[in-house]
Amino acid sequence: MAPTNGKGTYAGTWPGGRLWRRADGRSVYVIRKMIDGERFTVSTHATSLAAAMKQLERFQADPRGYNPAGDPRAEPIYLNDALVSEYLTWSKKVGGKRGRGGNSPGWLRKKKHILADWTEKLAGIDLRRASLTDHILPPLNGATSRTHRVAVIKSLYSYLRQETHAIKATEDPTLGTLSVPQANPEQFTRSKVVPREHVLLVIEHLTSPWRDALLLQAATGWHVSEVTRFATKGTIEPVPAHERQSAVAGIVVSPLHKSGAPIRTRVGPEALEAAKRLRSHGVFNERDYYRAVKAACCAVMRPDGGVGVPPFSPGMMRHSVATWAVEDGADLASVSTFLGHKSAWTTKRFYATFATPAKVPTLV
């Protein structure tokens, strides 16, 4: 049965037939074949080409008996290099949270490392017949990065269940039984707030484009990834007419925020000029950015005549901006809105953890 009973439209072809573009933007691969004078139009339910090609092979073997959900008597599924490669390819393209883009390069590298360990631990185990107590939980006992290991094995099973339809829900030992542990943020035990004077010293020591990138982060609280996207595809907009006499000089826009929408932030004159230079420079390497900031931390001359400040990374700037704002008297709700968080709770828990709210009238 084709998916044409829902909202969407056909939007392209593939070797097995046509692509059905759903209302949510995801594409489903539909088989359209004429076999022995009979027209077959059936959805594979697959959302990746690799999964669709496997479904096409099964269809061609038995067109009239084809069932995209699979056959309970199917061959065993083993976690091997081929499956890992297929899963990581999908993760890179569409495996992000709720289907909003692929995983980041850093998370893909971590996934690959964790899957290598799972491949060893589950060697010779049919994934469709794996047991939670006998096969999944033992490797997790005492393991480091337990949260990530659980997230990866659950994601792999979800891929097999929902994307390739290689297994059924009853064959997923992690479904409804294994939860990703709630990790305490690192900043609960180690502050990620950088003193302002240290950031200013490092900014003065850096050269372009690193100087402009750090200055822009200090003015916006953006993630490094948002600054990187701005450098390549960002835009700058004028401020509304009623704000032209204020401290706001322009609006910087970084495309494709993780929520799916651009992130827009008002900035002052100095940050605006840095943004213009960064945009003119274009793409830059994040790893080199981190190295440049670390090197500058070690080389700056302090006002007291000393050399160097405690090393910090660009990834700590969002925590610093949030904390500086609250310490200066900004209310948590305003800081949350400025940073693009859905709630002030997110700002407090993850970014302004060590901020001290402004004093209110008390008895003494």
Q: Which of 101, 136, 171 is the last residue before a domain boundary? A: 171
In this structure, is residue 225 part of a structural domain? yes
- Residue 240 is part of a domain; what is its CATH number? 1.10.443.30
> pLDDT tens-digit profile of 201-214?
999 999 989 999 99
Mean pLDDT, residues 262-274 taken together = 92
Of the chain, the percentage scoring pLDDT greater than 90 comes to 44
Q: Are residues 129 and 271 in the same domain?
A: no
Q: Judge whether 292 lies within some domain.
A: yes
- pLDDT score of 258: 53
Q: Residue 107 pLDDT more than 80? A: yes
**Is there a single domain that holds both residue 215 and residue 310?**
yes
**pLDDT band, residue 269 (cuts 50/70/90):** very high
Mean pLDDT of 144-160: 92
Q: Is residue 67 part of a domain?
A: no
* Token pair 């006499």: residue: 245
- Considering the domain architecture, whether residues 243 and 147 belong to the same structural domain is answered as no
Indicate whether 256 and 125 sit together in one domain.
Answer: no
> What secondary structure letter does DSSP report for 132?
I
**Residue 155 predicted with pLDDT over 90:** yes
As for how many domains the chain has, the answer is 3
Task: Tell me the C-alpha distance between 132 and 125, whole Å.
Answer: 12
55 and 88 part of one domain: no
Tell me what the mean pLDDT of segment 90-115 comes to. 79
Residues 165 and 307 in one domain: no
* 34 and 154 both lie in a single domain: no
42 and 88 fall within a common domain: no
* Same domain membership, residue 90 and residue 165: yes
Residue 131: inside a domain, yes or no?
A: yes
pLDDT of res. 268 = 92
- The answer to whether position 185 is within a domain reads no
Residues 276, 166: one domain?
Answer: no
Which pTM was predicted? 0.52
274 plus 210 within the same structural domain: yes
| Domain-embedded: residue 190 | no
Does the residue 328 lie in any domain?
Answer: yes
In the predicted structure, residue 9 carries a pLDDT above the cut 90? no
Of 210 and 187, more confident? 210
- Residue 195 corresponds to which tokens in the numbers above? 């003193």
Side-chain-side CA neighbours of 278 within 13 Å: the count stands at 32
Give me the domain span that covers residue 242: 196-351
Residue-wise pLDDT tens digits, 284-335 = 889 999 999 999 999 999 999 899 999 999 999 988 998 888 888 888 888 8
Nearest to 43 by CA among 86, 83, 72, 10: 10
Q: Is the bond preceding residue 209 a cis peptide, omega within 30 degrees?
A: yes
Task: Tell whether 33 and 158 lie within a shared domain.
Answer: no
With respect to residue 154, please indicate whether it lies within any of the assigned structural domains.
yes
Between residues 276 and 263, the one the model is more confident about: 276
Q: How far apart are CA 232 and CA 280, in angstroms?
A: 9
Rounded Cα gap, residues 147 and 141, in angstroms:
12
CATH of the domain at 115: 1.10.150
What would you report as the CA-atom Rg of the chain, rounded to the nearest whole angstrom?
26
Report whether 254 contacts 244 (CB < 8 A). no
Q: Which tens digits make up the pLDDT trace of 50-100?
A: 888 888 988 888 888 888 876 545 678 999 999 999 999 999 887 655 445
